[in-house]
A and B are shown apart, each in its own frame.
Chain A
Amino acid sequence: MAKIVGSITTSHVPAIGGAIAKKLQEDPYWKPFFDGFPPIREWLAKVKPDVAVIVYNDHGLNFFLDKQPTFAIGAAPEYRNADEGWGIPVVPSFAGDLDLSWHLINCLIADEFDIVTCQEMSVDHAFTLPMALLWPDQKWPVRTVPVCVNTVQFPLPTAKRCYKLGQSIGRAIESFDRDSRVLIIGTGGLSHQLEGKRAGFINKQFDLQFMDSLISNPTWATQFSDLDLVEQAGTQGVELLNWLVARACLTGRASLKHSNFHIPISNTAAATMLIENQG
Chain B
Amino acid sequence: MNSPKSNRQISGTTVFDGDAARKGYALNKMCYSFNAQANREEFLRDEDAYCAKFGLNEQQRAAIAHRNVLELLEAGGNAYYLAKFGGIFGLDMQDIGAQQTGVTKDEFKAKLVAAGR
Contact = CB atoms under 8 A, between A and B. Distances in A.
Interface of A: 15, 59-61, 64-66, 82-87, 152-155, 193-202, 204, 225, 227, 230-231, 235-236, 262-264, 266-267, 269
Interface string B1-39: 000111010111111111001000100110110111100
Given A65-B32, A264-B115, 5 more contacts: A60-B78, A60-B80, A84-B87, A202-B112, A230-B15
22 contacts: A15-B93, A59-B80, A61-B35, A64-B28, A152-B80, A153-B18, A154-B16, A155-B4, A194-B79, A195-B14, A195-B73, A196-B14, A197-B70, A198-B13, A199-B12, A200-B111, A200-B115, A201-B12, A227-B6, A227-B8, A264-B115, A266-B93
Contact of A85 (B11, B29, B34, B78): B34
B17 A153 contact: yes
Majority-rule SS of B interface residues: helix
Contacts of A200: 97, 101, 108, 111-112, 115
B69 interface: yes
A194 B14 CA distance: 10
Contact of B116 (A85, A204, A225): A204
Contacts of B116: 202, 204, 262-264, 269
Nearest to B82: A195
A155 B19 CA distance: 11
A61 B12 CA distance: 27
A279 B83 CA distance: 44
Contact of B115 (A66, A87, A263): A263
Contacts of B18: 153-154
B12 A60 contact: no
Contacts of B6: 225, 227
Interface in B48-107: 69-70, 73, 78-84, 86-88, 92-94, 96-97, 100-101
A198 B17 contact: no
Contacts of A199: 12, 96-97, 100-101
Contacts of B94: 266-267
Given A60-B32, A85-B34, A86-B83, A194 B115 contact: no
A15 B86 CA distance: 14
Most-contacted residue by chain B among A59, A153, A235 (CB, 10 A): A153
A83 B88 CA distance: 12
Which 8 A-B pairs rank lowest in CB-CB distance, beginning with the nearest? Answer: A263-B116, A198-B12, A86-B87, A197-B12, A85-B84, A202-B115, A264-B112, A195-B79
A152 B73 CA distance: 14
Contacts of A59: 80, 83
Contacts of A201: 12
A86 to B, nearest CB: 3
Contacts of A194: 79, 83, 93, 96-97
Contacts of B31: 60
Contacts of B93: 15, 194, 266-267
Contacts of A196: 12-14, 70, 73, 100
